[in-house]
């Protein structure tokens, strides 16, 4: 458990204060911090190691990459020190440059994913996509109640949404790829699905009103999010009391090529992590289980997770 005195000593170093300022804005890889700060990786790793050992930063391994974030649930005294250090660092001229570099990193992430999905939009339904199997989708459909308002977050070309729209009251498809939205709208029009609408937007900032849908879906979309926990919180926000969330995604794996081949941000998720994130977002009766495994290498496994928003 970090102590105020130890934290104060660490925060006295300007570089560590700059790192915490950046981590306060979201999780970052070591390489991303290197690009932002313009320092050698060894120097940044040394500072990160000190922050991690002191309990001020958390790290996680995802394949070959290490990601760092500001530690959660810190003691009140330590939390106040960090807040003061971040506020003071915000006034430093170097910090303004750091923020501009951070925005470039975030924009680069989004552009990479957008380029990938714009490129494959016309053939996504015909080509291989990790974790998207009819076996898994079939189990998902069995959990659905008929004639409800649905939000498909990260809908892609709308393969799932077009199936659901045949019985749902309405389906709102949210996707951040302009080409996917264009394609989805065209397919919905072709199939005369007047209750299906496509909206350009981010699953971490869903362009739908609070308490507006009965069912929210994240089908093979969560591993593309910068912050999956934020996406789950957004799903909770748009659900009506008593509404449900269903998540279909990959189980944690080590197939590094997925980052380049499919623009994956996360190499799947561990069951316990996904369960904990659902609970932290406010969902009740959460459940996470493996529902499919592909026989060919790399043997992707598919998780089905669900949670319910408390009723009135």
Task: Using alpha carbons, select from 241, 153, 164 the residue that is nearest to residue 201.
Answer: 153
Domain spanning 4-110, CATH architecture: Orthogonal Bundle (1.10)
User: What is the percent of the chain with per-residue pLDDT over 70, rounded to a whole number?
Assistant: 94
pLDDT tens digit sequence for 89-136: 888 888 889 999 999 998 888 888 888 788 777 766 566 677 777 768
What pLDDT digit, counting tens, does each position of 220-266 carry?
999 999 999 999 999 999 999 999 999 999 999 999 999 999 999 99
Query: What stretch(es) of the chain map to CATH 1.10.10.10?
Result: 4-110
What strands lie across the sheet with 65-70, from one edge to the other? 28-29, 65-70, 57-62
Residue 142 pLDDT: 47
> What is the biggest distance separating any 2 CA atoms in the chain, rounded to whole angstroms?
66
Report whether pLDDT(289) > 90. Answer: yes
Classify residue 131 as exposed, middle or buried by CB count within 10 Å of its CB (0-12, 13-18, 19+).
buried
Which secondary-structure segment (H or E) carries 179?
helix 178-190
Class level of CATH domain 124-308 = alpha beta
């Amino acid at each position: 458990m970090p102590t105020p005195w130890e934290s104060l000593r660490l925060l006295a170093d300007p570089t560590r204060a700059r790192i915490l300022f950046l981590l306060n804005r979201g999780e970052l890889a070591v390489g991303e911090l290197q690009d932002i700060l313009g320092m050698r990786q060894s120097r940044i790793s040394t500072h990160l190691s000190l922050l991690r050992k002191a309990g001020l930063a958390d790290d996680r391994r995802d394949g070959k990459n290490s990601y760092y974030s500001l530690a959660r649930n810190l003691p009140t005294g330590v939390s106040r020190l960090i807040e003061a250090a971040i506020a003071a660092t915000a006034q430093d001229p170097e910090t303004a440059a750091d923020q501009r570099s951070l925005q470039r990193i975030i924009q680069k992430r989004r552009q990479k994913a957008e380029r990938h999905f714009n490129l494959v939009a016309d053939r996504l339904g015909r080509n291989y996509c990790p974790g998207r199997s009819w076996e898994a989708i079939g189990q998902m459909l069995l959990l659905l109640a008929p004639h409800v308002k649905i939000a498909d977050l990260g809908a892609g070309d709308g393969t799932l949404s077009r199936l659901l729209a045949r019985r749902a009251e309405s389906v709102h498809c949210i996707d951040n790829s302009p080409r996917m939205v264009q394609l989805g709208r065209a397919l919905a029009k072709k199939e005369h699905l007047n209750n299906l609408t496509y909206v350009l937007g981010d699953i971490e900032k869903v362009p739908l009103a609070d308490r507006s849908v009965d069912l929210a879906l994240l089908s093979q979309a969560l591993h593309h999010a910068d912050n999956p926990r934020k996406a789950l919180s957004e799903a909770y926000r748009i659900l009506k009391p008593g509404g449900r969330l269903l998540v279909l995604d990959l189980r944690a794996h080590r197939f590094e090529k997925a980052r380049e081949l499919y623009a994956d941000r996360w190499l799947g998720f561990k069951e316990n992590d996904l369960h904990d994130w659902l609970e932290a977002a406010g969902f009740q009766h959460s459940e996470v289980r493996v529902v499919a495994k592909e026989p060919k290498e790399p043997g992707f496994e598919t998780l089905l997770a669900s949670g319910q928003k408390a009723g009135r």
